[in-house]
Structure 1
Amino acid sequence: MSVPVSTKRHPHDDAPDTDPAFVRLAELPDGPERKALRDDIVRSWLPMAQRIAGRFRGRGESVEDLVQVAALGLVKAVDRYDPGRGHAFESYAIPTITGEIKRHFRDHMWILHVPRRVQELRNQVRAALTELSQTVPGHRPTVAEIAACAHLDEDDVRTALEALDCCAALSLDAEQPGAEDGNALADALGEPDAGFDLVVDREAVKPLLGELPERERTILYLRFFRGMTQSRIAEEFGISQMHVSRLISTCCHTVREQALADVA
């Protein structure tokens, strides 16, 4: 089945007159005939979709992928278009296809996750920088100038400027800028220090330890701060190792329960 094409004038040469086909498509029930007509309409408008995709070349995505995204937008436009509203299909399809391509860039071309609002600010600032580079060549625009050109406040401009480099990321194996010893970026990353937790724990139990009897405090000190064995501590106090073990266990349990109670 072929789509009838008339000599009706359109803004672009690749815009066929498919009005009768859309009217027919709206009348047909789901089935092979409707699918064939729908596919013919899509093929008739593919040149327009390819032309729109071409506007976005040079932005880090291959033309082939852009054409596929544009074709997807065209299919959505064909499926959602209602000829009964009286609007030309071209005026409906162009923003639908363009929106699908922009959505592709927004969702798939950012290596780092950036909120949608920041992405939009970034686009506004980038456009303002392009405009300012033509009006004030040789001069790096200030934040205030960018804000005035983009009609944004300066805080939003600063946020957008920080996001300008968020489309790409360096590998952690990349060499540090200016490094002479070949150190990678990963070598400069810190890691959690368990010692901080130890300091917090010691400060939390310090007053609780002070409430223990002197003998128990001394036993805990010798065991955990001097590293003495239970048998050596038993010799120091003239008691059995089993007794030392029970005292340590009882003291630790008491201090732990009191510390948890204080936190709660």
Structure 2
Amino acid sequence: MSLVAERCAQVRPVPEAQERERLILEHMGLVKYIVGRVSVRLPESVEREDLDSAGIMGLIKAADRYEPGRGVKFATYATSVIRGEVMELLRSRDWAPRSVRRRYRELESAIGELQQQLGRQPNEDEISSRLLLTKEEYHELLSITGSMAVASLEEMVEGDQALQMDETALPGEPVVHGDDPAEIVDRQALHDVIARAVDGLPQRDRIVIGLYYQDELTLREIGEVLEVTESRVCQIHTQAIARLRASVESLLEG
């Protein structure tokens, strides 16, 4: 009997413990996949082993808490919990340099101000002008702050009551963890706001978001589709997430 099975047997009936072990073993690949997508844009100072450990803990938690009667597939639920554990680890490690965080906040702020002023999504020339940067300097800024976009969506809503979005939840269905009707309504409302914000993005941004979060292509593969370099896709993705966050904040405030 494996170590996982032994621990399960100590606290659960044998059939239930075996099902838990099966869920964990059959979905270990999900941990590798999620950590791989998250880590691709992170600095080398972030240890892959630490992310793997956090992901495995998330998978175990998902197996412990999963309720088949809720009508949600285990893989969908586990994706949410695994990503939550990985993002929590990143937040606790303060992995991004303060200068990068500051510049990313400046980017979001500039986009938000221009959205309010223009009543539409600003283009690259308008954003770079607002930041007093040349076009080349603006593209460099997008590349430098690209790692911040990894955690940006998850950080829109924090805490135990947060809407944890999996890779298919933009703009698909949210994963609902609570039974409180008011909580469910709040989460659905947030989901609707995010979907509206995605619809309001420029076409190229929507394409990148769709290919990355729904079709699950890598940045390199998206570059092949759009016939641009991987670094350019990273820039577009960073800008799209900054636009999305600014739009969501504006819609929530309005």
Structure 2-normalised TM-score? 0.36
Point out the structure with the larger helix share: 2
Structure with max Cα Rg: 1
Does 1 or 2 have the higher relative contact order (CA < 8 Å, sep 6+)? 2
